[in-house]
Structure 1
Amino acid sequence: MVVRAVVFDVGETLLDDTREFGAWADWIGVPRHTFSAVLGAVTAAGRDNAETFEYFRPGFDVAVERQRREDAGQGERIEDSDLYPDVRPALTTLRDCGLWLGVAGNQTIRAAELLRSLDLPVDLVATSGEWGLAKPAREFFDRLVTWSGFEPAEIVYVGDHRDNDVLPAHAAGLRVAHIRRGPWGHLWAADPVLRAAADWQVESLIELPALLAGA
């Protein structure tokens, strides 16, 4: 079936999360390299990112602390400088090819507003916070299919995370492009389960237009 739509994950697919992870480290009062090391250990164990905070503050409530950051004027920020350099050129080229483009990931309602303010060349932006559904739940991808208006096999989902992106998108019948960047993208790049599920594996989003043209 011909590819007609491409939907992108957010963190470490479109956005470099370095600044946001640094902001969290500063907020809980631990050195940034320490926070990164523990995050890496949690990642390597295949556990949820939020568990990182438990090592520093048992019982840490991410939602409550996120609101406290907002109230303190240190809340979520997504700026053009947080985009990976290949994002705008790749999106523009894909759209020029006539593909429908979407952004859908595990982010807050506030993050959706910030992403829309970037005026990316995409058709729609949505987040788990808006949908009340989060990856890797099958319901998230079923909602994505309905939201896009295309058949699952006509959609390519692009993401860096094996368990949240590649495997559940594949199980939902979407085609999948794994991007090898960020901690999760590199950690699982050679994983045989990921490679079996992904239709393509790329180092940069710039590679997608040529690959999808062939599809």
Structure 2
Amino acid sequence: MIRSVVFDVGETLLDDTREFHAWADWLNVPRHTLSALVGIVVAQGRNNAEAFQYLRPGIDLAAERARREGAGRGEQIDEVDLYPDVRPALVELRRRGVWIGVAGNQTVRAAELLRKLDLPVDAIATSGEWGVAKPDLRFFDRVADFAPGERSDILYVGDHRDYDVRAAQAAGLRPALIKRGPWGHLWADDPTVAGSEVWVLESLEQLVDLVRPH
């Protein structure tokens, strides 16, 4: 039985379009150029951060992010960035007695912005706060520590085959892949996903009855 559901953030709860556009504008490159480069590195199974190296070799993303903040053009997360199915699914999961957490590879600032949205969840954390990022198994140890239940009772929902599905499985958690964003669509039919005990979701509303049927 699933007691707890923990959600990734980018392309699971949030549409990342606005943030990628902000990065392209900050780096003064066409938005399509950055999007295409991200698609290339994703298809090659690499971290999307590597796309920035083609545009500005040696770029320090953490330092550049701080410059954006200092210039008043920093990270933003607002209601408009949530996928439409997020609030209805979270509300219904809680109504059915499921503990809900949010934990992804985001900054400390992102955690603050997420909490300001007042989502119907029990806990929010980010890799920036924990000091460890996916796919490191220590990240999922932290997930297991803050979500109630045994590891087999905790479902981790994300859009990335390696950072979410495989890493959660390796840590003994139950995985689900949401089919949206470039990663979710790319890997929804991957044999290591479709051929294993992984729920592949078209939407978060679909998740509700899988986790806790009426």
Task: Give TM-score scaled by structure 2 length.
Answer: 0.98
2:86 alignment partner in structure 1:
87
1:12 matched residue in structure 2: 11
Return the alpha-carbon distance in structure 1 between the equivalents of residues 101 and 60 of structure 2. 30
In 1: Cα distance, 2:196 partner to 2:24 partner: 34
3-state SS of the aligned residue for 2:88? helix
Q: How do 1:120-131 residues align onto structure 2 when only pairs under 5 Å count?
A: 120-131=119-130
Give, in whole Å, the separation in 2 of the partners of 1:89 and 1:20: 24
* 1:177 and 1:202 in contact (8 A); partners too: yes
- 8 Å contact 2:8–2:104 — kept in the other structure? yes
Identical-pair percentage = 65
Equivalent residues of 1:166, 1:197 under 8 A apart: no
What is the identity, as a one-letter code, of the residue corresponding to 1:113? E
The residue that corresponds to 2:163 in the other structure is 164
Task: Determine if contact 2:38/2:48 at 8 Å carries over to the other structure.
Answer: yes
**Consecutive aligned runs of 4 or more in structure 1 exceeding 3 Å deviation:** none
Cα deviations across residues 74-126 of structure 1 (Å, max 9, x unaligned)? 00000000000000000000000000000000000000000000000000000
**Letter in structure 1 aligned against 2:123:** L
- 5 Å-filtered alignment, 1:1-215, equals 2-213=1-212
Q: Deviations over 1:19-56 (max 9, x none)?
A: 00000000111000111111100110111111111101
Which deviates more, 139-148 or 193-202?
193-202
**What letter is aligned with 2:210?**
L
Contact persistence 2:157–2:178 (CA under 8 A): yes
SS at match of 2:2: coil
SS of the residue corresponding to residue 195 of structure 2 reads helix
1: CA distance, partners of 2:16 / 2:139: 22
Maintained 8 Å contact 1:166/1:198: no
- In the alignment, structure 1 segments of 5+ residues that lack a partner are none
Kindly report the root-mean-square deviation, in angstroms, between the aligned alpha carbons of the 2 structures: 1.1
Q: CA deviation at 1:199?
A: 2.6
CA distance in 1, matches of 2:109, 2:200: 30
| Counterpart residue type for residue 25 of structure 1 | A
CA spacing shift, 1:53–1:198, aligned 2, 3 Å: farther
Q: CA deviation at 1:14?
A: 0.1
Greater mean deviation of Cα atoms: 15-24 or 148-157? 148-157
In structure 2, how many angstroms separate the alpha carbons of the residues matched to 1:46 and 1:135?
14
Whether contact under 8 Å (1:176, 1:197) holds in the other structure is no
Distance 1:172 1:179 in 2: 19
CA contact (8 A) 1:170 1:198 kept: no
Query: Which whole-Å CA distance do the structure 1 matches of 2:200 and 2:47 have between them?
Result: 23
SS of corresponding position for 2:133: coil
Say which is worse superposed, 129-138 or 198-207, in terms of deviation. 198-207
Quick check: 2:4–2:148 contact (8 Å CA) kept in 1?
A: no
Equivalent residue pairs, number:
214
Report the CA distance between 1:198 and its aligned residue.
4.5
* Deviation, structure 1 residue 144: 0.7
